[in-house]
Structure 1
């Protein structure tokens, strides 16, 4: 990788790290928030979900705007909006008696900011690096930063909440300001060499892409959604179970939640280094990862033992960490630069669908039984294996 672009990549990696902290830091704190605000488990899950739902609808728009006006011109204002949202949620938690509604408004703004920042990183990596192997390696670093954020989040969230339960809301704007400074001064984006197409021509080109590439694109979108659904759903379950059944909270709970995420971080990094520009290898590694995910969820369906669950989640983290960088690379390298921002943003939007659905769906399934919850998750994981095998068919010439 070109040495002079190392700081560009480090700065870009700060965005998914910060956006992940903004959402995942709250996972270990959700049971506390539920008690402090006197709300239901479904309501508290909405604090995670609303962030993602807003992003789902705005991400494709942000992707289009980044193709038209440039990546940094969208990223920096989006980070500012996200920081304001964090301040609003923190202030409401601190000063307002019935704070839930205002917290949700703050989370909506954070979702708006996330929509315009995190998804644009992938196409920007594709813009900065010309060599496909460097692009794959860069995307591996970005995915690793994303997953490292997930590892750090439960520990940092629990530590901040130990000071005062709403401190994670106030910490998020500080992280945003650091990322804004890095992007502003350290990222050099290549100039736009061609004039962006008008909206009607752009829409025609997107339709053409989906007509010719839709078979594998739809598959990649759905698999990304499933991976994030399983990850955030099971993390929500584990966070609740550790506190309610095992009386484990605070930093200790954060460390336990970080174990499967550390596995995800490690396998993301190794996968990004391994896949290069070999699309057949990307598919194979994705299938292997999803098979591991399916087996792990199936095994835990028959036992409530905490050690069995943690072992299965560790394996799940390894599996998801194999799949995500491969999916990222397939989308980014399979689409021309002019439409890359929009297509990768739609992919990111589908991942946010998984994040949004995970906690509330698991909150409902938990009321049935442990077996029902993991039987459903196993079935969904198995479907992702079938979709990958059936619909993603790269050739050696790709």
Structure 2
């Protein structure tokens, strides 16, 4: 069997390794991953990944803005398990979008603000990530310290104009219609509430948060997006920080029922809104990942998911290691670090470990409709407009 490599394709390291593999064992079998990868490269219409959100999805955009260390994770032990150095991701390794990119045969999507990436995005990249730790759906949430959702949308419009200039109207429309838009937003609007939180009854506040998420989705849609992957919010009352606060006020470290009630009303309104958008907007398709149910299930049945501890953080101080001290850049300076993050659902006071992100990503990628519906992400990637 002869291998012919056409000169017009350029290959990255992983593919060269695949090619070498090809040549070495061309008489035997060819690893399917290689074929898939080469095939993926030769077609320009691979679905790209465009990411909006907060710390669960931020690959390090906050390294490049003027903010406080409360909204940064660019110091050890963040990143230690996988990257071996801190990247700005709020976990010990990869985030959910990192795994999704991997499952979709895409490289990891760098922070949009990374200077190198920023100036070299004149080629049509594999995707863009605008997520910023601490961002909320409301611009008032952590205002001035984060890239809020509104600003993330502005960056997206820049990218859209740039694609148009580069590819022409028809091609760029096609790229955006096939792109998968991931969004994780809302948790910070309740966790570190904006000044607005106290001024409204909870149900009205939830409607405002969902209203902002809705208009963001409509805006992406009107700018050409058709395929959406949306994360609902974690049980906020069961985060290590909430359990620690419960202990501090004389409780037994159980979940905070009020915070969970707000989460439930947010999540049910979000689900209803997405059904409505699908009905209103022609061609709007989505995958809603119920991370809330998966997290609650993991907290009650840790061993089912391979965890030893699903209540405490791996890195932090105090009860449940729920005090935000991981890395010693905040108060208090001392912190504890577990020996094996794989055993934990939580990495720090509110963020999941890489092991936990992998479970979520896998479930979102090819899980059943009750946790990722109406489509899972794998199906969404393969839908053609």
If the length of structure 2 is used for normalisation, what is the TM-score? Answer: 0.29
- The structure with higher relative contact order (CA 8 Å, sep 6+) is 1
Q: Which has the larger radius of gyration?
A: 2
TM-score when scaled to structure 1? 0.29
